[in-house]
């Protein structure tokens, strides 16, 4: 019997957007602004085995990040189900997960406890996280003062050191200076060498997907175009993107 750790069934996620109207038009119409519904993920289904490394590719706006956020529990499905079978899940994504008024160190504590670690467990790993992040004195400053590269360094360091069962990565391996990108890429290869850990990686880098992933899911306009071996799917996707 297959040991699946992620099961997504007929997942649909919708956003509601308000159409922009001028003040004059709004007053003349004397009614609430029109609301448009955009379906970002349209009936997606797939399963991921324990220890599998899955790449997710697709053009901007294809639903990749939305789907990861749903698996992480940030978004609730409008339809369908997501089952991670009680596993701990961490999401690495720029702009998600930190309280910008808090310092980097305070965010490490908060993030760790939100991931299910005790305060003592987080404190035991604190120095290792700070050292890996290379943030120096900035670790005592509010996250709102961080550049996107510094933000990604802190996010990656927390997830890399506080290891969860499922790691979801949304483009953060492509952010930061060249030295840190290389270090984080090597750390990610080390993490996924543990075949009990399951990883989903969203990336526009075919090279990263090729080197790290066992299988690939290709999304377009909220639907799965193809799922299969990395070589097979990337060949078709790269040809499509030309």
Residues 162-209 have pLDDT tens digits of 888 998 988 766 656 778 888 888 887 887 777 778 999 998 888 889
DSSP 181: H
Domain of 107, in residue numbers: 98-162
Does 24 have pLDDT greater than 60? no
Distances (CA, A) of 215 to 3, 23, 55, 199, 221: 16, 51, 6, 11, 20
Report which secondary-structure segment, H or E, holds 13. Answer: strand 4-18
- Kindly report the average pLDDT of the chain as a whole number: 87
**Residue 237, domain CATH:** 3.40.50.300
Taking alpha carbons only, the member of 52, 41, 53, 44 closest to residue 15 is 41
* 203 in the same domain as 154: no
Other Cβ atoms within 10 Å of 196 Cβ, number: 8
Residue 181 near residue 148 (C-beta atoms within 8 A): no
In a domain, 16, yes or no: yes
Residues 157 and 209 in one domain: no
Per the structure, the count of domains in the chain is 2
Degrees (nearest 5) of the Cα angle 184, 51, 192? Answer: 15
Kindly report the number of other CB atoms within 10 A of residue 43's CB atom.
14
Distance CA 78, CA 62 (A): 17
Q: Tell me, yes or no, whether 176 and 154 share the same domain.
A: no
Please tell me the predicted confidence (pLDDT) of residue 52: 93
Which among 108, 127, 162 is the end of a domain?
A: 162
How far is it, in rounded angstroms, from Cα 80 to Cα 66? Answer: 14
pLDDT at res. 77? 95
- What pLDDT, on a 0 to 100 scale, did the predictor assign at position 33? 57
Q: Look up residue 44 and give its two tokens.
A: 């997606």
Among residues 82, 142, 154, 70, the alpha carbon closest in space to that of 111 is found at 154
pLDDT for position 179: 84
pLDDT of residue 22: 56
Identify the weakest region by mean pLDDT among 112-116, 118-122, 126-130, 199-203.
Answer: 112-116
The stretch 139-168 carries a mean pLDDT of 89
Q: 230 falls in which pLDDT band (50, 70, 90)?
A: very high
Rounded distance, CA 115 to CA 113, Å? 5
Tell me what the mean pLDDT of segment 72-82 comes to.
93
Reply yes or no on whether the pLDDT at 32 is more than 90.
no
Proportion of the chain above pLDDT 70, given as a percent: 89
Domain finish residue from 132, 162, 192? 162
The whole-number pLDDT of residue 137 equals 95
* CA pair distance 42, 220, nearest whole angstrom: 10
**pLDDT (0 to 100) of residue 208:** 86
The mean-pLDDT minimum among 15-24, 58-67, 81-90, 194-203 falls in 15-24
Count the Cβ atoms, other than its own, within 10 Å of residue 149. Answer: 13
Residue finishing a domain among 123, 143, 162? 162
pLDDT at 3: 85
Which range is least confidently modeled, 24-28, 100-104, 126-130? 24-28
Residue 103: the pLDDT is 97
pLDDT of 152 strictly over 90: no
């Amino acid at each position: 019997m297959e040991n699946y750790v992620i099961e997504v069934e007929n997942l649909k996620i919708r956003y509601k957007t308000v159409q922009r109207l001028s003040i004059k038009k709004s007053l003349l119409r004397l009614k609430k602004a029109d609301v448009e519904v955009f379906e970002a993920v349209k009936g997606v289904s797939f399963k991921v085995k324990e220890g599998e490394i899955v790449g997710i590719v697709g053009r901007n706006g294809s639903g990749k990040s939305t789907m990861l956020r749903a698996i992480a529990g940030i978004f609730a499905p409008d339809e369908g189900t997501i089952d991670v079978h009680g596993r701990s899940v961490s999401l690495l994504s720029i702009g998600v997960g930190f309280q910008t008024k808090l310092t980097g160190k305070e965010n490490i504590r908060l993030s760790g406890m939100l991931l299910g670690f005790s305060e003592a467990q987080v404190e035991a790993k604190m120095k290792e996280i700070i050292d890996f992040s290379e943030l120096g004195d900035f670790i005592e400053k509010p996250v709102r003062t961080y550049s996107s590269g510094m933000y990604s360094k802190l996010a990656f360091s927390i997830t890399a050191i506080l290891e969860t069962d499922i790691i979801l990565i949304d483009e953060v391996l492509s952010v930061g200076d060249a030295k840190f990108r290389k270090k984080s890429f090597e750390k990610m290869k080390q993490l996924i060498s543990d075949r009990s850990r399951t990883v989903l990686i969203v990336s526009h880098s075919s090279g990263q997907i090729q080197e790290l992933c066992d299988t690939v899911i290709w999304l377009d306009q909220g639907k799965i175009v193809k799922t299969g071996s990395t070589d097979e799917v990337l060949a078709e996707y790269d040809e499509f993107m030309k």
